[in-house]
Each structure stands twice: as C-alpha cells, then as structure tokens.
Amino acid sequence: MNNMTTARTPVPDTARRLPEAERRLSLRERKKLKTRTAIRDATYRLIKEQGYEATTVEQIAEEAEVSPSTVFRYFPTKEDIIITDEYDVLVEDLLRSRPADEPVLESVRWAIRQSMAMQVADTPEYAQEEMKLRTGLMVSVPAVRSRAMESMSVTGRLLCRVLADRTGRDPDDLEVRVYAMGLMSALLEAVLYWAERDYQDDVLDLVDRTLSTFSNLARRSPDDGHDILTG
Amino acid sequence: MNNMTTARTPVPDTARRLPEAERRLSLRERKKLKTRTAIRDATYRLIKEQGYEATTVEQIAEEAEVSPSTVFRYFPTKEDIIITDEYDVLVEDLLRSRPADEPVLESVRWAIRQSMAMQVADTPEYAQEEMKLRTGLMVSVPAVRSRAMESMSVTGRLLCRVLADRTGRDPDDLEVRVYAMGLMSALLEAVLYWAERDYQDDVLDLVDRTLSTFSNLARRSPDDGHDILTG
DNA sequence: CACCTTTTGAGAGTTACTCTCATTTCATGC
DNA sequence: GCATGAAATGAGAGTAACTCTCAAAAGGTG
C-alpha cells in the first residue's frame, strides 16, 4: 500500500477532528489534542495496513512522530488507543436531557441515535470507517474485545446513575446495576453481531431490535417474533 | 506467612480435587491433571500471600515445581489460571436435562444452584474460599475482570445453543444472542456486587433477585420492588 | 527391552508497559 | 522581550508476560 501520506505531511486527518471545540483552548491543550488524535490516526492507519498484532507501539510512536513514552502517557494500553471514546459524558448529558417520565429504553434509543449522529457530524468521512475498524477488531482481537467490555461496564455505571436519579433508588442497588449492565451488554452484543455479519445490517436497526428484545422479555405471547425466549 | 507447605510436601490440596473422575485415566492424563491443579493451587496460595501483581509466573512455576514454560502450556495467560473453569460443559448438560417447556430463567436458576452444589461437593473446604478469592480479584484486578467477561461470553454462547434448541431458532439469531448475553452479564454483575460487599449476602439470593429483575423488566407496576426501572 | 509419541525444561527473544531524570516547551508576571 | 515556574516530552534502563525452538525425559506399546 502506498496511498499513505509521506513523512513530510504529518498526520493530515488531525485537522478535521473536533473542529469547533478545538478553539478557545490554550496552545498547550490544543497540542495535546493534536498528539492524541495523531496517535490514534497513526494507529488506525498502521493497523489497517498490517493488522493489529503486527503493529507495535514503537511503530505507532514513529508514525505519529512522538516517542513511545508519550504514547503510553496518552493511552495506558495499546487497546485503549482503539477503544477509548470521549462520548460517555456526552451520552450522560443526552440521557439527562430527556423527560424523567419517558421510558428508559426510549431515552437510551434516542441517546444512541443522537450520539452517533454527532460523531458523524464531527468527522464525516472517517466516522463510519473508524467504527467498522474498531468493531471489527473487537470481534477478531480478544484483548480489544475485553477492553471494550470494560469500557461498556463504565458506561453501565453511568446508566446506573441516571436510572438511580430517575427512580429514586441507589445507583449501587443490585437491581439497578443488573438492569444497566444487562442492557449495555446486550447493546455491545448487537454491535458485535453487526461486525460479524460484515456490517450488512443497519446498526441502528440492530439497536432497535435489541431494545425491543429487552423490553419484551417478560411477555409470553409469541405474536411479535421477539419475545418467545422465556418459554 | 509460614503456614505454607515446604517443598518436601508438594501440592497437598491436589489430591482433593476431582476425586472420582480422576480414576480410569492413564498415568499421563492423571499427571496432567495433577500439574494443572498444582499450578492453580500454587497460584491461589501465592496470591493470597502477596497479592496478584506481586505474584509472577516464575514464582508460580517454582511453587508448583514446574518450569515457567509448562505454566504457559497449561494456561495461555496468567489470568486464565484464576478464571478458567471446567464447569461450562456441566452447566450445558444441566440445562439440557430440564424439560423444554420450563421457563428458561427457571432452568438457569436450577442449573446455577446445581452446579454450585457440585463444586462444593467436589472440594468442600476450598470451594467457598476459592470462589471468594476469584470474585475478589475480578473486582480489584481489571485484567482478571476482563478475562471473566470473556469467559462469561463463552458461557453465553452456550446458552444461545440451548435457547436455540428450545425455541427452534438459530443460535446466531440476534435476539437469542442479545438475550443470552444480557442475562449472563447480569449474573456476572450480581457476583461482582457480592464481592464488592465483602460477601455479606447469600450469592444464591443475589442470583434469584437478578433473575427476578430480568423476568420483570417489562412490567410497569411498582408493587414488588424489582420492576419500576423501565419507568 | 526397544521404539515412538507426548510432555517437559532450558534458553533466547519479543513486546507491552513502568519509572526516572534531564531537556524542552508553554504560561505568566514583570 | 525576558526571567521564572510548571507542564510535557524524550531517552534509557528495567520488568514481566508471553512465544518459539530444540534437546532431554517420561509414558505408552510391541
């Protein structure tokens, strides 16, 4: 592959990320953002060419034009370079912006759609491709999948807090936690399903089906096709 | 700590494990089982004394009186020494032994109780302690927790197959997978909850509450305390 | 006992990750 | 513009989890 940029044109994709929020930051903060995305872009580029295992952190550092130390300062593990997303806070805000009497699953559905739309808006050309690469790695690389599950459980705790606020329960309540983790895990499974089938389905459609399955669990009638699981 | 056994008395706990199945195996197979449990016992012993991070595979090898190479031959990663369980096949058999028209969650509840009872029967003195150590490590060591989630998702696939057989669906059906993974993940969360609270609750009680939460998801009435989550 | 297969140990090598310290780069008050 | 302090970076050494290879040992079988 030689459609990659030469060293003379460092990290070209960088400029496209975080177009608005990037302003009004100190030079230092802007530089930090730049190296962060430079590292991530370099990682995606190399992995696309060579695969995950064949790509070492040293190579990533070189490609991103930083030292290996810096890579580890920005991302605690190699998997984090791929998985870490900054959208968790966003999702929490989105969830909290919904009326408290809306069914939880509706709020979640809306928050997912909204956050995906915003990601696409941030980086139109790359959002889809990056998401495919990421989920593909979740399927093929156990370490990445593990890290994704960890990250998902963090999002689960977030959902716990929202649920707790809505229902007046404790966020550490067993029932709250079980519900939140079950839901998050189901959603992750949907994404894995999407990647395993070579992204043929519409992700949002899979999300809808997942949420439906989740809300229909207790019904016994086999009339809508999503609810005969409980026997 | 000097209640540890000397090198002259190698792996004393070993003899207690797998008391029945161990016979009728060739000498080779028996030896393999022995080293396997020797490694595991050594690991638990060392971790109890020194903690997880401080315990290296080299130390484990020495304590188990094998070479480091052998340790890695038996367990692909250090976390696997702690997490790997041989009870998955057992659980599948247990699930399949139930009548096909029994509600799934009932079968699961029964299978969990049964498999726990059998583990206790296998190694009465150590079963509880080992389970506590293991779940404690899931809470405190991210790598172990990740590995546990991976292992859980394998069990989830198993549940998919059982569900598929029962409902006549495909085991790769999105709804089947989402249901199975959601349930498994919820159960794992219950165990983590148990460990986080210093094992004060009865695990089986937590399992029951988890399964109840799962089966009550779609109901709206706030009358039994487990079901107002869907708002 | 001899022959073949499986298991083991020894050792070298890779790589992710950690820690420390000196150097550079940015922010700020003058 | 410049001095001073703080934050970010780079360089390098070190650790430990794995991987691979190959020769020695042990088990199974005629």
For position B25, what pLDDT does the model report? 77
Pick the more confident residue, B228 or A218: A218
Mean pLDDT score, A203-213: 95
Closest nt by CA–C1' to B72? D18
**For chain D, which bases have at least one atom within 7 A of a protein Cβ?**
7-12, 16-21, 27-29
pLDDT at residue A231 tops 50: no
How many C-beta atoms surround the C-beta of residue B48 within 10 A? 13
Q: Check if B226 contacts A (Cβ < 8 Å).
A: yes
Look at B184 and A185 and tell me if their CB atoms are within 8 Å: yes
**For chain C, which bases have at least one atom within 7 A of a protein Cβ?**
6-11, 15-20, 25-28
Buried b (16+ CB within 10 A) or exposed e, A163-192: bbebbebebebbbbbbbbbbbbbbbbbbbb
Instruction: Give me the sign of the Cα torsion angle B33, B34, B38, B44.
Output: positive
For position A11, what pLDDT does the model report? 33
Look at A215 and B218 and tell me if their CB atoms are within 8 Å: yes
pLDDT tens, residue order, chain B (231 aa): 333 333 333 333 333 444 445 556 787 889 999 999 999 999 999 999 999 999 999 999 999 999 999 999 999 999 999 998 778 888 999 999 999 999 999 999 999 999 998 888 877 777 788 899 999 999 999 999 999 999 999 999 999 999 999 999 999 999 999 999 999 999 999 999 999 999 999 999 999 999 999 887 655 333 333 344 544
For position B89, what pLDDT does the model report? 85
Rounded to whole angstroms, the distance from the CA of residue B78 to the C1' of nucleotide C17 is: 16
Task: Please tell me the distance from the alpha carbon of residue B171 to that of residue B38, in angstroms, as a whole number.
Answer: 37
- Smallest Cβ–Cβ distance between A218 and the set B142, B163, B219 belongs to B219
Mean pLDDT score, A133-162: 95
A124-140 and A142-167 helices, crossing angle to 10°: 110
A85-125 pLDDT tens trace = 778 888 999 999 999 899 999 999 999 999 998 888 877 77
Q: From chain A, pick out residues whose CB is under 8 angstroms from the CB of B185.
A: 181-182, 184-186
Share of chain A above pLDDT 70, in %: 83
- Smallest Cβ–Cβ distance between A206 and the set B102, B142, B174 belongs to B174
Mean pLDDT score, A137-161: 95
pLDDT at residue A74 tops 60: yes
Task: Please tell me the distance from the alpha carbon of residue A108 to that of residue A151, in angstroms, as a whole number.
Answer: 17
Q: Which pairs count as long-range contacts for B44-53, CB under 8 Å and 24+ apart, including other chains?
A: B44/B82, B44/B130, B44/B133, B45/B4, B47/B82, B47/B133, B47/B137, B48/B133, B49/B1, B49/B4, B52/B137, B52/B140, B52/B141, B52/B144, B53/B141
Rounded to whole angstroms, the distance from the CA of residue B72 to the C1' of nucleotide D28 is: 25
Task: Please tell me the distance from the alpha carbon of residue B193 to that of residue B160, in angstroms, as a whole number.
Answer: 25
Share of chain A above pLDDT 90, in %: 69
Q: Check if A164 contacts B (Cβ < 8 Å).
A: no
Task: Please give the model's pTM, rounded to 2 decimal places.
Answer: 0.85
CB-based contact B25:B33 (threshold 8 Å) = yes
Which of A:70-109 have CB within 8 Å of B?
Answer: 100-105
Mean pLDDT score, A194-211: 96
